[in-house]
Structure 1
Amino acid sequence: MNMTAERAEQTYLTTEELAGRIKYDARTIRERLKDSVLLEGRHYIRPFGGRKILYIWEVIREDMARSPSDSIGIPMASGGLCRG
């Protein structure tokens, strides 16, 4: 599958839409998960270089299903992961 077809199959969600799917408050996503667990370029994008954030549902769903031992990184006290 080429990269254009792969991107066309991705589902982009706003913070509020993602909050509804994963049962987290939108504020928690913005303040605690974004940039610690949800990473720009992997879990979300800023289309056209703007301020709006769109989350990539398929990547988030896949990462949520992984067991913690599948993740590569150092656990941080804040609950995030250091991916050094």
Structure 2
Amino acid sequence: MRSTEYITTEELAERIRYDARTIRERLKDSVLLEGVHYIRPFGGRKILYLWEPIERDMFEHSGHHSLAIPMANGGRMNG
């Protein structure tokens, strides 16, 4: 079983080269979604980001797969 890497807003900002304030005010809840990209442990106010889903989604939406063919079911066929 692979362990999930939890990171703070500041650590995320460092990794993706965004200002922590931008993450809090513009990305959280529009691009970064609770339960997918971040959690609030134990129902508290603190936010921990899940690095793997963020990295995966950044890669998928970066245009790196521009040669992939979109499919009707939402997937992509790579040639």
Counterpart-to-counterpart distance in 2, 1:52 and 1:21: 19
Quick check: 1:50 aligned with 2:70? no
In structure 2, distance between residues paired with 1:22 and 1:57: 10
Alpha-carbon distance between aligned partners in 1 of 2:61 and 2:29, rounded to the nearest angstrom: 20
Distance across 2 between alignment mates of 1:23 and 1:33: 13
Deviation, 1:55, is 0.1
Q: Pairwise CA RMSD of aligned residues?
A: 1.8
* Aligned position for 2:55: 61
Q: Which secondary structure does the structure 2 equivalent of 1:21 belong to?
A: helix
Query: 5+ residue gaps in structure 2?
Result: 64-69, 75-79
Higher helix share: 1
DSSP-derived class of the 2:30 partner:
coil
Unaligned residue ranges in structure 1 (runs of 5+): 73-84
The separation in 2 between residues aligned to 1:67 and 1:13, in whole angstroms, is: 21
Which residue type is aligned with residue 15 of structure 1? T
CA distance in 1, matches of 2:17, 2:61: 19
For residue 67 of structure 1, report the CA deviation from its aligned partner: 3.0
Shift of 1:68: 6.4
1:25 corresponding residue in structure 2: 19
Q: Greater Rg, structure 1 or structure 2?
A: 2
1:13 partnered with 2:2: no
Q: How many residues of Structure 1 are paired with residues of Structure 2 in the alignment?
A: 65
Identity over aligned pairs, percent: 69
AA partner of residue 65 (structure 1): F
CA distance in 2, matches of 1:12, 1:49: 16
